[in-house]
Amino acid sequence: MFTLSTISRAIRRANMARHGDLVDEELRGWNWGRAPLKPRAYFELGVSEVSYRLCPTRRDLWLRRRDGVKIEPSEAMRIGAAIHNIIHSISSEISRLSTKGLKIWDAYTAVYRRIDRMVREYTQNLANTEWLYSFAQATAFTLASIAAELGLPLITEFTVDGSLLGLSKNLRIDALFQGAAVVEFKYGYNRDDYQLALTGYALALESFLELPIDTGIAVLIANGCSELRTRVEAVYISNNLRQEFIEARDEAIDVLLSPSPPPKPSQCPQTCPYRRVCGAPA
Ligand code: SF4
């Protein structure tokens, strides 16, 4: 599982990239009122709508936002949602109980006793949920350890207003680490598509709090052949990443300003949940 020391080590590695690449003032989120951060239009975009390119031409974005198309979430989406619910419930319960005066490890014991019921509640519509019980138990231990070592629980599901950058008023950041790094929990072990999302959340926080956020942490979670696997990756929110996020945001805005949907790409990813809507070959 992830631990305080794996997170700290990853942050140290990421911060080595800072040397020689200090963030330009114009690319700080608090400069939302001028180019290049000022958006052409305000569509309250989700960070994931900007960062995770489901469809190579962003046709899915137009269909969802302009045409009101709704799709059934895929199995992977539902597992991702269950993981987020489990982490948030455990973290907020440890936080609530310690605020009421319980010592962190007593709060952990109380939460641990409720884990089976909690996981059952969040995994009702899923097959093969056994590993999520192990995940929840390990998560409870990890979050209690972090709270005990740092003296305060991890803040999860932190809401931030990203509207100054053309993003949603209710962005939900998976977690904030020591008030200085944004954290994303992702289902999937070998993915590397989290960097732009971390950058978007960092920019939104900078625009909202007017504090520099230079580090993002991705905790990648998967069930391997026989065991739970997690990997912690930290990224320095560099000038390049900031520019890349802003370009992706502007591209999403252009798609939504267009009266017609973008064309279909030459090939549709097998995992795209819009395949039926677009009539893509099975
Ligand atoms: S099915 Fe193809 S064209 Fe439609 S949204 Fe998905 S990738 Fe894009």
Confidence of residue 254 (pLDDT cuts 50, 70, 90): very high
Give the residue whose CA is nearest to atom 5 of ligand 1.
60
Q: Tell me: pLDDT of 190 over 90.
A: no
Which among 80-94, 118-132, 266-280 has the top mean pLDDT?
80-94
Can you give the pLDDT at residue 179? Answer: 84
Can you give the pLDDT at residue 217? Answer: 95
Give the residue whose CA is nearest to atom 1 of ligand 1.
275
Can you give the pLDDT at residue 20? Answer: 79
Q: Tell me: pLDDT of 166 over 80.
A: yes
CA of 51 to the centre of ligand 1 (A): 16
Which among 129-138, 155-164, 179-188, 217-226 has the top mean pLDDT?
155-164
Lowest mean pLDDT among 80-89, 190-199, 209-218: 190-199
Can you give the pLDDT at residue 226? Answer: 63
Q: Which residue has the higher pLDDT, 47 or 18?
A: 47
Confidence of residue 122 (pLDDT cuts 50, 70, 90): very high
For the chain, percent of residues with pLDDT exceeding 90? 74
Q: Tell me: pLDDT of 58 over 70.
A: yes
Q: In what order do the strands lie in the sheet with 228-236?
A: 155-160, 171-177, 181-187, 215-223, 228-236
CA of 19 to the centre of ligand 1 (A): 41
Give the residue whose CA is nearest to atom 2 of ligand 1.
268
Which CATH entry fits the domain spanning 4-261: 3.40.190, 1.10.260, 3.90.320, 3.30.160? 3.90.320
57 Cα nearest atom in ligand 1: 8
Mean pLDDT for 154-168 is 96
55, 62, 271: which to mutate for ligand 1, most atoms within 8 A of CB? 55
273 Cα nearest atom in ligand 1: 6
CA of 104 to the centre of ligand 1 (A): 47
Q: Tell me: pLDDT of 224 over 80.
A: no
264 Cα nearest atom in ligand 1: 3
Angle between helices 4-15 and 130-150 (to 10 degrees): 70
CA of 272 to the centre of ligand 1 (A): 6
Q: Tell me: pLDDT of 227 over 90.
A: no
Average pLDDT, the chain: 92
49, 74, 268, 270: which to mutate for ligand 1, most atoms within 8 A of CB? 268
Can you give the pLDDT at residue 219? Answer: 94
For residues 69 and 55, what is the distance between their CA atoms, to the nearest angstrom?
A: 15
Mean pLDDT for 146-168 is 93
Q: Tell me: pLDDT of 73 over 90.
A: no
User: What residues does ligand 1 touch, defined as CB less than 6 Å away?
Assistant: 55, 59-60, 264-265, 268-269, 272, 274-275, 278, 280
Mean pLDDT for 7-13 is 89
Report the predicted TM-score, pTM, of the whole model to 2 decimal places.
Answer: 0.93
The domain limits of the chain are 4-261
Give the residue whose CA is nearest to atom 4 of ligand 1.
278
